[in-house]
Amino acid sequence: MVAIDVLNDLWHNCHMGAELLSYFKQDFKDGTVIEAVVWKVPKDKERSHGFKYRLHFGKLDGTCITRYDNEKGKGDHRHIGKREEVYQFISLEKLLNDFKQDVRKYRKRVK
């Protein structure tokens, strides 16, 4: 399913004038993974800030620990485990800092 989502994103981005700003992926020895991707996109009603993003921290088996994203139709939001909540996008810097803070909180709890 992940491969299909990636292909859908690539197709969608090719047709909406997106510019890949950053992609990062790292697997950790404890069985977790961080994958972060940010595109610069034309501003529109759903993405008035001009970014499309997916910041994922989870287990290698696909389990979501925390994820921030803004897929079409849902707007800016984050997932904490299975819970989903609205996220107030202020800036790209704040988004990345909030994501890092959530990852740090999780890592402190499991130590």
pLDDT, tens only, 52-85: 999 999 999 989 999 999 988 899 999 999 999 9
The mean per-residue pLDDT over the stretch 20-26 comes to: 93
pLDDT at residue number 1: 43
pTM of the entire predicted model: 0.82
Measure Cα distances from 106 to 14, 101, 103 in Å.
Answer: 35, 9, 5
**CA dist., res. 51 & res. 106, Å (int):** 26
pLDDT at residue number 73: 86
Please report the beta strands in the chain, taking only residues with DSSP state E, as ranges in sequence order: 19-27, 32-40, 51-59, 64-69, 77-80, 83-86
Band (45; pLDDT cuts 50, 70, 90) = confident
